Amino acid sequence: MPDQISIPKPLDAGTLRVIPIGGLGEIGRNMTLYELDGKILIVDCGVLFPEEHQPGVDLILPDFSPLRDRLDDILGVVLTHGHEDHIGAVPYLLRLKRDIPLIGSNLTLALLEAKLKEHRIQPYTMTVKEGQREQLGPFGLEFVAVNHSIPDALAVAIETSAGRVLHTGDFKMDQLPLDDRITDLRAFARLGEKGIDLFLPDSTNADVPGFTALERDIGPVLESVIAKAKRRVIVASFSSHVHRVQQVLDAAVANGRRVALIGRSMVRNMGIAAELGYLKVPEGVLIDAKKAADLRDDQVVYMSTGSQGEPMAVLARMANLDHQIEIGEGDTVILASSLIPGNENAVYRVINGLTKLGAKVVHKANARVHVSGHAAAGELLYCYNILKPKNVLPVHGEWRHLQANAALAIDTGVDPRNTFVGENGMVLDLRDGHARVAGQLDLGYVYVDGSSVGSITDADLKDRRILAEEGFISIFVAVDAQTGRVIVGPEIQSRGFAEDESVFDTVKPQVVKALAEAAENGVRDTHAFSQAVRRTVGRWVNTQHRRRPMIVPVVIEA
């Protein structure tokens, strides 16, 4: 990895340039650019969900700055599957150019088109399936079936004059999947025989030994938990996890219960999945959430969103008594999902809230109610041995995941010099089977805050954290600009710092003295007077109270 930002040289003809825009060092924002002979192919375009230290942020987008002046060069966006961390940023990319073609499987495009409809965007789409080949300019594409925690996921092999690339997207090797659609290792083997010049594998579970457990092991556990439940059952999962919803429907039927879908995205996505045949809904099992309230508590299962502790999602609102479904003694809540790194505190806060209300909370730590959708180390080793790639660029993972994946590649014989662990914006050039780091772009976070996109900066978030953690102090003073004599004030008010504002009595004389000294030193403008006030109050707060609140001085001439 380059030690510092280095702008890559112009791309030579016949060389393939690969730039991960997102997905390195994080679980989310997955997006990779491929450039060859002046044309660009994009694989995935996802969002990252904010953490606690990013207050007020709704979503985090990839930094599109490398594309803004080259939108006409984009041939298309290949979408490996329908999860938000792979498709969620597409509406924001299409705001820049609405006719960029979108390429993906049937379910992936259906979920995306529903999302784009909310943004009032009519996309140009191409539906593909496993085994299909397409040519986009200099990029030959072959789509390969992979198993994941959402149906219809695809890996993509990219054939170019510079070399052959395999980009897995998210995948695992469940040998007994619920939909009987396994990761196509025969296609992997065939591609490996041809030669893989660059391999971009999913890294999320690279540090987990062995193999990911089977999805079908979850069904009996869910059925048993529901059978033992005395009152209502609430199951929380991702709104796109069709397999998990299928298992909940089947478990509910086995226990004589009906299922109500809760949450706009859950209702929308499962409606699409059922319409396309990916979700098999038993006759009479689904019931409208409003009508479910008329059933006995032991006759209903609620299937909701909010398994990651999102503050506005259904489960968190239940825990905060801010939802029409009031959790009570004897209710059972099942969190049927993995924890996304960074969400642990939010999830345990919800678990504690539900437990305090009297619910029994069942989650991955105390029962097998979820398995991951990502390949563990054993599965990745199989891939490396089948493919024998010349170069490896691990993607989709935090730093420890990327390093673990690179170590697996090296263990199977990949030259350590040909394994590339880097940050978003790393520029990798491939030609004749040889890959090298050609530079490092300076890419940042793009924050979505309400209707605002990109206007919120890290400095703004720092101010928000200071306001939340340290409070706010405002000082109003009217001065004689010639003498610095205080005519009105200082009037000091605070929020989140001290309830009794008499605490500021000791600093007010210091402010008066500082203004007089500033005038004696030739200060005449109100900005310089304001800085003197800020320094004085800041020094006092720090020494006397060991706090660092936001300080806003207002000085006017009188």
What is the set of domains in the chain, with CATH numbers?
A: 16-210+372-450 (3.60.15.10), 215-362 (3.40.50.10710), 470-557 (3.10.20.580)
Q: For residue 311, name the pLDDT band (cuts at 50, 70, 90).
A: low
Residue 126 has pLDDT above 70, yes or no: yes
Round to whole Å and give the CA distance between 164 and 193.
Answer: 12
Cα 305 to Cα 89, 239, 241, distances in angstroms: 20, 6, 10
Q: Which of 12-16, 175-179, 210-214, 553-557 has the lowest mean pLDDT?
A: 553-557
The closest of 310, 324, 325, 320 to 356, measured between CA atoms, is 320
Structure tokens belonging to residue 200: 């971009």
What is the largest distance, in Å, between two alpha-carbon atoms of the chain? 86
pLDDT at 93: 95
DSSP string, 315-367: HHHHHTT-SSS---TT-EEEE-SPPPTT-HHHHHHHHHHHHHTT-EEE-TTTS
Residue 454 has pLDDT above 70, yes or no: no
251-278 pLDDT tens trace: 999 999 999 998 888 999 999 999 999 9
CB 445 within 8 A of CB 59: no
Pairing of strands 154-160, 139-145: antiparallel
157-209 pLDDT tens trace: 999 999 999 999 999 999 999 899 999 999 999 999 999 999 999 999 999 99
pLDDT at 110: 95
Round to whole Å and give the CA distance between 221 and 214.
Answer: 12
Q: Return the HEC string of 481-498.
A: CCCCCEEEEEEEEEECCC
Residue 290 has pLDDT above 90, yes or no: no
Q: Which of 56-70, 213-227, 285-299, 433-447 has the lowest mean pLDDT?
A: 56-70
DSSP 8-state code for residue 288: -
Cross-sheet strand order for the sheet of 59-61: 59-61, 446-449, 452-453
Cross-sheet strand order for the sheet of 258-261: 258-261, 300-304, 233-236, 332-335, 360-362
Structure tokens belonging to residue 380: 């990745």
pLDDT at 307: 59
CB 161 within 8 A of CB 194: no
The closest of 128, 84, 120, 83 to 102, measured between CA atoms, is 128
Residue 348 has pLDDT above 90, yes or no: no
pLDDT at 170: 95
pLDDT at 2: 45
Three-state DSSP class for residue 280: coil
Model pTM? 0.81
Round to whole Å and give the CA distance between 252 and 243.
Answer: 14
Q: Where are the beta strands (DSSP E) in 394-498?
A: 426-431, 434-440, 446-449, 452-453, 472-479, 486-495
146: Cβ contacts below 8 Å, ≥ 6 apart: 80, 153, 154, 155, 168, 169, 170, 171, 183, 184
Q: Which of 282-286, 315-319, 423-427 has the lowest mean pLDDT?
A: 315-319
pLDDT at 464: 59
Round to whole Å and give the CA distance between 399 and 410.
Answer: 17
Round to whole Å and give the CA distance between 322 and 331.
Answer: 17
pLDDT at 102: 97
The closest of 460, 437, 444 to 65, measured between CA atoms, is 444
Rg (CA), the chain: 28
The closest of 184, 82, 171 to 143, measured between CA atoms, is 184
DSSP 8-state code for residue 203: -
Residue 85, Cα to own-chain centre: how many angstroms?
5
The mean per-residue pLDDT over the stretch 375-393 comes to 97
pLDDT at 257: 94
Cross-sheet strand order for the sheet of 434-440: 125-127, 102-104, 74-78, 39-43, 31-36, 16-22, 426-431, 434-440
